[in-house]
Amino acid sequence: MAYTTVGDIITEARVLLQDQSGVRWPAAIIYQHLNMALLESRLIRPDLWRATPDTIPQYTSADSGTTLDFELQYRPALVIYVAGLCQLEDDEGSSDARAAAMLNTFTKKLTGPIGSA
């Protein structure tokens, strides 16, 4: 998947969460996590935001068809981060390790060589 739109990121995160129908995690929460992923990406990789250093987009469910303005090779990291934050919110203890692994993978994908993690 090319993750062309904001909605593509959300859809793929829901696949990882096994919540394609959107029953477990409301759209507003998922979009908040995407927005957090973008903010975190700026902290970890400010060079990704050189063109717009003072503007980090904030998306809502109304933006699902909006083209994602983020480097293509790093878009899968956004999916992983969104799913990881959802897992952190889960009240099942078994999801904590998975959430931590996903959040660590996000950082590795942003900071490592392309194709790593």
pLDDT digits (tens, 9 = 90+) for 28-82: 999 999 999 999 999 999 999 888 878 899 999 999 999 998 999 999 999 999 9
Tell me phi and psi for residue 67, to 5 degrees.
-65, 130
What average pLDDT does range 18-29 have in this prediction?
92
Q: Residue 94: its pLDDT value, please? A: 59
Tell how many helices (H) and how many strands (E) occur in the chain: 4, 0
- Structural domain contains residue 66: yes
- Structural domain contains residue 13: yes
pTM over 0.85: yes
Residue 51 sits in which domain range? 6-111
Quote the radius of gyration of the chain (alpha carbons, Å).
13
Q: Residue 66: its pLDDT value, please? A: 96
What average pLDDT does range 98-108 have in this prediction?
90
Number of domains the chain contains: 1
